[in-house]
């Protein structure tokens, strides 16, 4: 591949992105321009040598500091959207730049630039250096390449898959959804793929490069029956190779979206009040993520704003409850070969048989607690600083069958899926909209439910899990992202069926 200047690169990328808004065909030269499949990518394409990195890091530590790091990013994102039976939008986005961080204690100086030139990077490094006011600090003389496992190998680069190969995915989802029910009146389908190349270089001599794919196929349907309209959607994806998107995946996305909308025509509202709630397997793990997981991120505990800040080593749940945060599950959206500080991907046990065992640490919090980082230092892009963030957060399976869990609930509610959640991270108070679920009457699933919210407190909910099922699942979607501090990063979550002794349900009338 021939080298291109950044100015020429951005000019070509912008022209191509504008072109795709009005036509479904990308120029073939675009795919040659953005290949990223060989080691040393940033050096080969943008002239980022070890010597240049040493100079920039030296500038970042020119006024002292504990350590500094460089985060290079080159991301290519593509979207295809179908509405009313036609692909009416297709566009691309390119992100290219470097973020430079200087750390002193728990304080961070940060600078970033879109220009990968020596002058621009030194200016950004000088900005980051202003956090410190001491003598310059020496950096490591040589960089050692970080060797990691690859949890999302690609048979073929996503940037080498032409748009002509992606168009049938959204068209087939559309056609399949309409074929499943005469009540389908509208289908929106979309396919998103992203190829993110990063390189982390630290003042302590670590150099790590990664190629992170992310993609998903989505369907949203509107159905009409007897004057009533209902809508629902579904998506599948993660850090997948393009070969994942087979005919069976297309059919599953369409079928699940249609079935989720169809069941709502017969849905009722449950009684309001405090009732037993059974959380189904897989996607309801988002409650675990939001209501509990954030409280175990170390920065909230270091700042003493989390309920869990004084509970390390104490009982926070029953012995049947074990919760992990894991960056090593192949092909999941939250998996990472290494985090955005250059710490290798790993598995962290947060709650071990009911005992709080660990927080999720980046380098700053790990140093504060005198521990090793857990590989949870993440950022949205080169324009953002690192924070402790979740990866794939899940609860392990327990000893009970899902039927036993539902039977034990007696009269309550079964939650299949939730959305539109709100959480107070410090206290753990939450409210979620139940988009899919059923009543539980006399220990059996009965009528579907809709238009209700569940409310509670995360730590209290964790203590109130009295049964854990043996049907563990991870959510299969690839479109979810977690927000924190103005940043969004892809995550995964999952759990088995479990019984929460009591949650507040907003229904039609007091029970």
DSSP characters over 104-134 = ETTEEEEEEES--SHHHHHHHHHHHHTT--S
Residue range 385-400: mean pLDDT, rounded: 97
The verdict on 328 and 198 lying in the same domain is no
Query: Taking all residues of the chain, what is their mean pLDDT, rounded to a whole number?
Result: 91
Residue the block writes with tokens 């993660």: 238
In a domain, 395, yes or no: yes
Q: Which two tokens stand for residue 58?
A: 């030296």
Q: 238, 263, 288: which is the final residue of a domain?
A: 263
Confidence of residue 428 (pLDDT cuts 50, 70, 90): confident
Q: Are residues 149 and 282 in the same domain?
A: no
Confidence class for position 1, pLDDT limits 50, 70, 90: very low
Instruction: Looking at the structure, tell me whether residues 218 and 322 fall in a common domain.
Output: no
What is the tens place of the pLDDT at every residue in 46-90?
999 999 999 999 999 999 999 999 999 999 999 999 999 999 999
Average pLDDT for residues 294-308, to the nearest whole number?
95
Sorting pLDDT into bands at 50, 70 and 90, what band is 5?
Answer: very low
Owning domain of residue 283: 273-506
Does a structural domain hold residue 116?
yes
Task: State the pLDDT confidence band at 508, using cuts at 50, 70 and 90.
Answer: low
Q: What percent of the chain has pLDDT over 90?
A: 85
For the chain, the first-to-last Cα distance in angstroms comes to 69
CATH number at residue 118: 3.30.2290.10
Q: Which of 34-48, 70-84, 281-295, 479-493 has the lowest mean pLDDT?
A: 34-48
Helix or strand holding residue 28 (H, E): helix 28-33
Same domain? 213 vs 286: no
**pLDDT of 57:** 98
511 within a domain of the structure (yes/no): no
What's the mean pLDDT in 307-312?
Answer: 95
Query: How many Cβ atoms sit within 10 Å of the Cβ of residue 446?
Result: 13
- Reported as a pLDDT band with limits 50, 70 and 90, residue 424 is confident
- Does residue 462 share a domain with residue 327? yes
Q: Give the list of residues 6+ apart from residue 180 with CB closer than 8 angstroms, or none.
A: 254, 255, 258
Band the pLDDT of 7: cuts 50, 70, 90: very low
Answer whether 136's CB lies under 8 Å from 60's CB: no
Checking if the pLDDT of 24 tops 60, the result is: no
Structure confidence at residue 171 as a pLDDT band (50, 70, 90): very high
Write out pLDDT tens, residues 186-230: 999 999 999 999 999 999 999 999 999 999 999 999 999 999 999
Q: Are residues 122 and 215 in the same domain?
A: yes
CA-CA distance, 255 to 253, in Å (whole number)?
A: 6
Query: Among the residues of 334-446, which ranges form H helices?
Result: 363-369, 402-409
d(Cα 366, Cα 458) in Å, to the nearest integer?
Answer: 24
The answer to whether 1 touches 45, Cβ cutoff 8 Å, is: yes
- In terms of domains, do 259 and 286 share one? no
Residue 30 has pLDDT above 70, yes or no: no
**How many domains would you assign to the chain?**
2
Does residue 1 lie within any of the structural domains? no
What does the pLDDT look like over 155-165, one tens digit per residue? 989 989 999 99
In contact, 249 and 217? CB cutoff 8 Å: yes
Query: Which of 138-152, 194-208, 315-329 has the least mean pLDDT?
Result: 138-152
> Which range has the worst mean pLDDT, 28-32, 175-179, 202-206, 365-369?
28-32
Residue 89, number of CB atoms within 10 A of its CB: 15
What integer is the mean pLDDT of 267-293?
93
Give 507's pLDDT tier (boundaries 50, 70, 90).
low
Residue-level pLDDT at 13:
40
Does residue 26 surpass a pLDDT of 90? Answer: no
pTM (2 decimals)?
0.91
Select from 263, 298, 315 the last residue of a domain: 263
241 with 374, same domain?
no
The pLDDT assigned to 506 comes to: 86
Shared domain check, 136 and 230: yes
* Domain final residue, candidates 263, 296, 312: 263
DSSP letters for 188-221: EEEEEEEEEEEEEEETTSEEEEEEEEEEEEEEEE
- Distance from CA of residue 486 to its chain's centroid? 14
Residues 208 and 329 in one domain: no
In terms of pLDDT, which residue wins out, 27 or 184? 184
Same domain? 161 vs 301: no
User: How many angstroms separate the CA atoms of 262 and 114, rounded?
Assistant: 48
């Amino acid at each position: 591949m021939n080298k291109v200047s950044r100015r020429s690169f951005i000019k070509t990328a912008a022209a191509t992105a504008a072109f795709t808004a009005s036509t479904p065909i990308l120029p073939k030269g675009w795919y040659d321009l953005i290949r990223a499949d060989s080691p040393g990518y940033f050096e080969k394409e943008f002239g980022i040598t070890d010597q240049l990195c040493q100079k920039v890091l030296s500038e970042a530590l020119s006024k002292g500091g504990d350590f500094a790091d460089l985060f290079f990013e080159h991301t290519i994102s593509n979207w295809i959207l179908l509405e009313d039976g036609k692909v009416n939008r297709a566009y691309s986005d390119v992100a290219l730049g470097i973020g430079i961080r200087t750390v002193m204690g728990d304080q961070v100086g940060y600078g970033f630039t879109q220009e990968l030139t020596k002058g621009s990077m030194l200016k950004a490094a000088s900005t980051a250096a202003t956090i410190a006011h001491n003598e310059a600090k020496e950096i490591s003389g040589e960089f050692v390449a970080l060797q990691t496992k690859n949890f999302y190998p690609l048979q073929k680069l996503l940037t080498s898959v032409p748009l002509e190969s992606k168009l049938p995915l959204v068209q087939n989802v559309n056609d399949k959804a309409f074929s499943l029910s005469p009540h389908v009146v509208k289908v929106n389908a979309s396919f998103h793929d992203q190829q993110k190349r990063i390189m982390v270089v630290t003042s302590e001599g670590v150099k790590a490069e990664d190629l992170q794919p992310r993609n998903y196929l989505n369907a949203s349907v509107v159905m009409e029956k007897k004057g009533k309209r209902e809508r629902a959607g579904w998506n599948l994806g993660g850090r997948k190779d393009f070969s994942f998107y087979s005919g069976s995946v297309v059919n599953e996305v369409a079928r699940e979206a249609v079935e989720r909308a169809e069941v709502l025509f017969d849905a009722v509202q449950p009684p309001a009040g405090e009732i037993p709630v059974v959380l189904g397997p897989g996607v309801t793990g988002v409650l675990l993520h939001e209501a509990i997981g954030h409280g175990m991120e170390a920065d909230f505990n270091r700042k003493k704003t989390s309920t869990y800040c004084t509970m390390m080593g104490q009982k926070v749940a029953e012995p049947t409850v074990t919760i992990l945060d894991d960056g090593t599950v192949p092909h999941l959206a939250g998996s990472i070969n290494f985090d955005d500080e250059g710490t290798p991907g790993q598995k962290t046990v947060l709650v071990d048989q009911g005992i709080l065992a660990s927080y999720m640490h980046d380098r700053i919090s790990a140093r504060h607690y005198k521990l090793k980082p857990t590989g949870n230092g993440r950022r949205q892009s080169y324009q953002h600083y690192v924070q402790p963030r979740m990866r794939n957060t899940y609860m392990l399976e327990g000893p009970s069958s899902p039927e036993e869990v539902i039977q034990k609930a007696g009269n309550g509610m079964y939650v299949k899926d939730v959305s539109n959640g709100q959480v107070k991270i410090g206290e753990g108070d939450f409210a979620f909209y139940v988009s899919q679920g059923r009543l539980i009457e006399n220990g059996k699933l009965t009528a579907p439910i809709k238009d209700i919210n569940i409310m509670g407190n995360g730590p209290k909910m964790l203590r109130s899990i009295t049964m854990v099922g043996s049907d563990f699942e991870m959510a299969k979607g690839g479109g979810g992202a977690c927000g924190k501090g103005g940043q969004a990063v892809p995550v995964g979550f999952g759990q088995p069926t479990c019984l929460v002794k009591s949650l507040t349900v907003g229904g039609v009338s007091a029970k």
